[in-house]
Structure 1
Amino acid sequence: MTSVLYDVPGPRAIARNRILAVVTILVVLAAIGFIVFRMVETGQFSAEKWYVFTFANVWMGIVKALGNTLAAFALAAVLSLVLGFVLAIGRLSDHAWVRVPVTVVTELFRAVPVLVFMMLLYYGLPVVGVKMEPYWAVVIALMAYNGSVLAEVIRAGVESLPKGQKEAGYAIGLRKSGVMRLILLPQAIRAMLPVVVAQLVVTMKDTALGFIITYPELLYYAKQLTSQQGRPILQSAFVIGGIYIVLCLILAGIAKWVEVRTRRSTKVRGIDAAVGPDPRTHEDGTNTELIALQRGVGKYDGTSTGG
């Protein structure tokens, strides 16, 4: 018996896979057990190590640092998306005098590491008489790098669409701007949404690089906590790392919700446009056959099933 993509494993292969799965689980559990054992041996779970987190002022400082992290991320994310759209449209231009400079700028921003960009803005600009606050150095560096990456994502999404999409837009009289805005970009964004979200998660995590230029975000505050009584280095890393994990999960959840809503609304609009209004729609606006069609459990053939 075979599957579409691969051969179904036989009894010996199934037994071998089960043995490998058991061995892998045992190795992982052994590694976790060793780490926990070493932490117990070195007193990482002692009250002294966690004593600093019993103070309300410490948690107020964490909340303030979290606010600084979110402030930098929010503005950088919005500006990155705007810059990504601008650079992507520029790279898709038919005019060489637009496409070539935009390509050079995009590749330049992608080539410079975020930390180097931050240090150039914060430490380099004062050399020429321009002083920049750490917040703006973080935001601009994140915007430049992530915006250039998103530009390539959007461009790849547009170019991956069938050429018939663009030709159909031109056939009904749309200009290139209309084809891009009404046909290509919406489809490309829906297709590339997981990649866009992944890049925004990278943007959020890269705000931690701001501690190098003394921006008071979460990692900067965690570094300050490590010098407190008991030197809670691992404890601070666990707390701050847990906050970053929660933030990334929230962002991924929001993106998943948007993706589901977008697909659902697009599917419903496509069905309504193809079927059109039905005179047999009930007074409350529902139509049993259309509902069945949307759910994939029935087939609408234009005939009434009623008596």
Structure 2
Amino acid sequence: MTTVDEERPAPPELAPARRVRPTPATALYDAFGPRGRRRVLVATVVSVAVLAGFAVFVLYRLDRYGHLQRARWSYVLSPEILRYLGEGMLNNLKASVIAGALALVLGLVLALGRLSGTRAIRVPAVAWIEFFRGFPLVLLILFPYLLFPVYLRAVDPLWYVVIGLTLYNSAVIAEVYRAGILSLDRGQQEAAYAVGLRHGQAMRLVILPQAIRRMVPLLLTQLIILFKDSTLGVAVTYPDALRRGETMGSFEPRVVFQAIIVTAVMFFLVGLVASRLVGVLERHWSRG
């Protein structure tokens, strides 16, 4: 014989609760629910399908105009053409090394000038930084090219590129230096004054070594950007890799597209190696 209590079902609060696996939220947005995840999945599938269709269309157009022919790629990838493009890449590196060295030195001088307590030094430094940082880089390369030949009969196009890169990147690097100096604790400078160092000695012996060490990854990253910007030398007929890829059309018009693609891959590989090196140095110094 069963009682009324035995036949009555258990109340809902006493039933075992269903465990829901929590989805972690990020610092930027809340975690998606089931409906949000379905929408993301649908959007991903549609995006991949659109990109795949676009890639097929591009390959179809390239094949239609003969850009996928094996003979054209074999010609561009021959040792003679690769050496020709490689010499252009060395010209890019040459301009980048010279301009980078000048920009690092000039940027440090400008950063110290902007932090100076003397108005006569600070105002010109601020004017230089703000003017050249906001000026189009290609115009900084073109202006010397258009003006200098009036006074100097024979100027290597290398120096037009170096001048433009130096003016622009000195302003950018000056701000990197200044950010590194201001990021240090003020107690560093006060401790240097406490042991009897003057302002210049404290800056040279205490502040700058720590600031530069902290800013090395950013400085190296800016030098990588400078290297890629050296391709703007094509505006002044500087014989860099991009210019040589374009001039291949004068003796073999059918392979200009392939030459530009190979040049882009060369720039990508150099930039990739440099970026990985910056990452290794940053991890090494962060552990130190």
- SS of the residue corresponding to residue 226 of structure 1 reads helix
- For residues 39 and 206 of structure 2, what CA distance do their matches in structure 1 show? 50
Q: Report the structure number with the largest CA radius of gyration.
A: 2
Q: For structure 2, which runs of at least 5 residues remain unmatched after alignment?
A: 1-21
Worse-matched range after superposition: 92-101 or 185-194? 185-194
Query: After TM superposition, where is structure 1 displaced by more than 4 Å over at least 4 residues in a row?
Result: 1-4
Structure 1 residues 168 and 31: CA distance shift in structure 2, 3 A: farther
CA shift at 1:55, angstroms?
4.3
RMSD: 2.4
Aligned to 1:153: 176
Aligned to 1:7: 30
Aligned to 2:5: none
1:26 aligns with 2:40: no
Match among 163, 182, 187 for residue 140 of structure 1: 163
CA shift at 1:118, angstroms?
2.1
CA contact (8 A) 2:221 2:278 kept: no
Identity of aligned residues (%): 35
- For residues 25 and 269 of structure 2, what CA distance do their matches in structure 1 show? 39
CA shift at 1:245, angstroms?
0.3
Aligned to 1:80: 103
- For residues 201 and 228 of structure 1, what CA distance do their matches in structure 2 show? 32
CA shift at 1:48, angstroms?
4.2
Aligned to 2:60: 37
- For residues 131 and 174 of structure 2, what CA distance do their matches in structure 1 show? 13
CA shift at 1:178, angstroms?
4.1
Match among 35, 38, 63 for residue 86 of structure 2: 63
Q: Which amino acid aligns with 2:143?
A: L
Structure 1 residues 221 and 97: CA distance shift in structure 2, 3 A: same
1:122 aligns with 2:122: no
CA contact (8 A) 2:96 2:226 kept: yes
Aligned to 2:248: 225
CA shift at 1:25, angstroms?
2.3
- For residues 121 and 229 of structure 1, what CA distance do their matches in structure 2 show? 32
CA contact (8 A) 1:49 1:230 kept: no
- SS of the residue corresponding to residue 30 of structure 1 reads helix
Structure 1 residues 173 and 32: CA distance shift in structure 2, 3 A: farther
Q: Deviations along 1:244-283, whole A, 9 cap, x unmatched? A: 0011111112212221222222xxxxxxxxxxxxxxxxxx
1:213 aligns with 2:236: yes
Structure 1 residues 34 and 130: CA distance shift in structure 2, 3 A: same
- SS of the residue corresponding to residue 68 of structure 1 reads helix
Q: Which amino acid aligns with 1:264?
A: R
Match among 70, 73, 92 for residue 115 of structure 2: 92
Structure 1 residues 170 and 57: CA distance shift in structure 2, 3 A: same
CA contact (8 A) 2:217 2:281 kept: no
Q: Which amino acid aligns with 1:13?
A: G
Q: Deviations along 1:84-129, whole A, 9 cap, x unmatched? A: 1111111111111111111122223223322222222223112234
Structure 1 residues 32 and 192: CA distance shift in structure 2, 3 A: farther
Structure 1 residues 190 and 28: CA distance shift in structure 2, 3 A: farther
User: TM-score, length-normalised on structure 2?
Assistant: 0.81
- For residues 171 and 281 of structure 2, what CA distance do their matches in structure 1 show? 23
Q: Deviations along 1:231-254, whole A, 9 cap, x unmatched? A: 222211110000000111111122
- For residues 261 and 135 of structure 1, what CA distance do their matches in structure 2 show? 35
1:102 aligns with 2:132: no
Worse-matched range after superposition: 14-23 or 166-175? 166-175
- For residues 134 and 47 of structure 1, what CA distance do their matches in structure 2 show? 36
- For residues 196 and 141 of structure 1, what CA distance do their matches in structure 2 show? 18
- For residues 80 and 117 of structure 1, what CA distance do their matches in structure 2 show? 14
Structure 1 residues 230 and 136: CA distance shift in structure 2, 3 A: closer
| Bigger RCO of structures 1 and 2 (CA < 8 A, at least 6 apart) | 2
Q: Deviations along 1:29-61, whole A, 9 cap, x unmatched? A: 222222112112221111343353254332221
